[in-house]
Amino acid sequence: MRTELFEPDVTTGELELEERHSLRRVAGLSTELTDITEVEYRQLRLERVVLVGVWTEGSAADADNSLTELAALAETAGSQVLEGLIQRRSRPDAATFIGRGKVDELRDVVVATGADTVICDGELSPSQLRNLEQQTKVKVVDRTALILDIFAQHAKSREGKAQVELAQLQYLLPRLRGWGESLSRQSGGSGRGGGAGGGVGLRGPGETKLETDRRRINHRIAKLRREIKSMRTVRQTKRSRRSQAGVPAVAIAGYTNAGKSSLLNRLTQAGVLVENALFATLDPTTRRAAAEDGRVYTLSDTVGFVRHLPHQIVEAFRSTLEEVSYADLVVHVVDGADPDPEGQVVAVREVLSEVGADRIPELLVVNKVDAADEEALLRLKRIWPDAVFVSARTGVGIEDLRAAIAHRLPRPAVDLRVVLPYDRGDLVALIHRHGQVLGTEHTEAGTELRVRVDERLAAELATYRA
């Protein structure tokens, strides 16, 4: 008897989602690594957490939205959020991020809730990290480390894993002294430096170990950069082939969890992973699509963006993000059900400008209209009158989106009238793929076409001009 291993309609994305859910972290089990030389970076132990934010500018709603997003990030990483605190300050405290009085309050909350981790809504300096850990007596993680941890969990491809590891090592390198007493590299042993805590100048084997780790990390960073550079060359080669073939490129960009992968699946039946979580997919996916008039173009999904996306991520993923800068059109997806869609748009455009993609034509697409409030949608329609409103889940507005993309695709520049012999069906197919057919008539001499094509194809058709 034959046993079916998979249902015929199961997609790759569904299989990845099932695997991801089967590997969720178990509460109470640590994922820390005590020796950096084993894998060159530390994985975070995120289980029962308390969130802390500093409100320095903007409205109270902005501060609440930022902390809410931090909670979603923590839950995506596998944590249980117990409590959230916001401190109103003109700027973060240089020593403890939140100030001495708030640290005492934070310590009381940690004890009362039984939390084992504090997550700060910002990037902490090594000294802030060390001071907070010493005073709260639990592990302290900042927003950057949290996002890097999520990226490490979700990266699947060789390029994605290399990019994430590079970002983690760049973040870790200046913080080798700041991971807390349990991971200190300063502990002297017997002999030089004397004492378990090290000497006055922290001499001895502990310091030697720290310098060894630094050299290992710098060597690994250099190796990863070489690997990513070689992968970038492969990506550029594929891109140049598509460009030479005259295939327009459309890049889907947007805030994390705005529904980019769902939209790609709806437009191309790509079957990529879809999950209601932040940064669910990191590896870019490119699929072929066709407009109603027959023109072929490519649709590429990209990594999602977020407010204050760590600069290490932008730098490490630059080769991937540059796919957007080489596109002919950016489909900018916005979550219409989010409390602050305008803030999402600002955050995405900031990252696009960093990679030189801010000059690419943009089509704004407001997704999740089936879950959004009607009044909020009316307000967004007033703010963005040229945007397309869709639901990737239900299919509402998808045909309007297809038409909008086709309307904005670059059109071939040369108009011709050609008569192709009936045995040159290959040229007819080539015109349909890479050009635009304006009219067709069948004559005794062959197929007479009025076409609009690029210069390269026009030169190939020159001998058949009517």
Output the pLDDT for position 275. 59
Q: Identify which has the larger pLDDT, 32 or 214.
A: 214
Predicted confidence (pLDDT) per residue in 230-254, tens digit: 887 777 777 676 666 668 889 998 8
- Tell me the DSSP string of 1-30: ----SS-TT--HHHHHHHHHHHTPPPTT--
Q: Identify which has the larger pLDDT, 432 or 275.
A: 432
Residues in the chain: 466
> Is the domain covering 246-408 a CATH 3.40.50.300 domain?
yes
Q: Identify which has the larger pLDDT, 425 or 15.
A: 425
Output the pLDDT for position 331. 94
- Tell me the DSSP string of 49-107: EEEEEEE-SS-HHHHHHHHHHHHHHHHHTT-EEEEEEEEE-SS-BTTTBS-HHHHHHHH
Output the pLDDT for position 367. 95
What is the average per-residue pLDDT within 83-103? 89
Give me the torsion for CA of 439, 442, 444, 445, rounded to 10°. Answer: 40
pLDDT of 32 above 50: no
Output the pLDDT for position 188. 45
Output the pLDDT for position 28. 37
Predicted confidence (pLDDT) per residue in 152-204, tens digit: 887 777 888 888 899 889 888 888 754 444 444 444 444 444 444 444 544 45
pLDDT band at 280 (very low <50, low <70, confident <90, very high): low
Instruction: Tell me the two tokens of residue 272.
Output: 């990529």
Q: Is 95 exposed, middle or buried (0-12, 13-18, 19+ CB in 10 A)?
A: middle
pLDDT of 71 above 50: yes
pLDDT of 44 above 90: no
- Closest-CA residue to 231 (of 310, 167, 157, 171): 157
What is the average per-residue pLDDT within 110-129? 91
- Percent of the chain exceeding pLDDT 90 equals 24
pLDDT of 255 above 70: yes
pLDDT band at 277 (very low <50, low <70, confident <90, very high): low
Q: How far apart are CA 382 and CA 371, in angstroms?
A: 19
pLDDT band at 3 (very low <50, low <70, confident <90, very high): very low
Domain boundaries, the chain: 45-151, 246-408, 414-461
Mean pLDDT (the chain) is: 79
Instruction: Say if 45-151 and 246-408 have the same CATH topology.
Output: yes
Predicted confidence (pLDDT) per residue in 292-334, tens digit: 877 888 888 877 888 777 777 877 777 667 778 888 899 999 9
Q: Identify which has the larger pLDDT, 454 or 22.
A: 454
- Percent of the chain exceeding pLDDT 70 equals 78
What is the average per-residue pLDDT within 431-439? 84
pLDDT of 381 above 60: yes
Beta-carbon count within 10 A of 151 CB: 24
Least confident interval from 58-62, 135-139, 372-376: 58-62
pLDDT of 416 above 60: yes
Output the pLDDT for position 38. 38
pLDDT band at 282 (very low <50, low <70, confident <90, very high): low
pLDDT band at 401 (very low <50, low <70, confident <90, very high): very high
Q: How far apart are CA 142 and CA 444, in angstroms?
A: 74
List the CATH code of the domain at 45-151.
3.40.50.11060
Q: How far apart are CA 377 and CA 67, in angstroms?
A: 24
pLDDT band at 221 (very low <50, low <70, confident <90, very high): very high
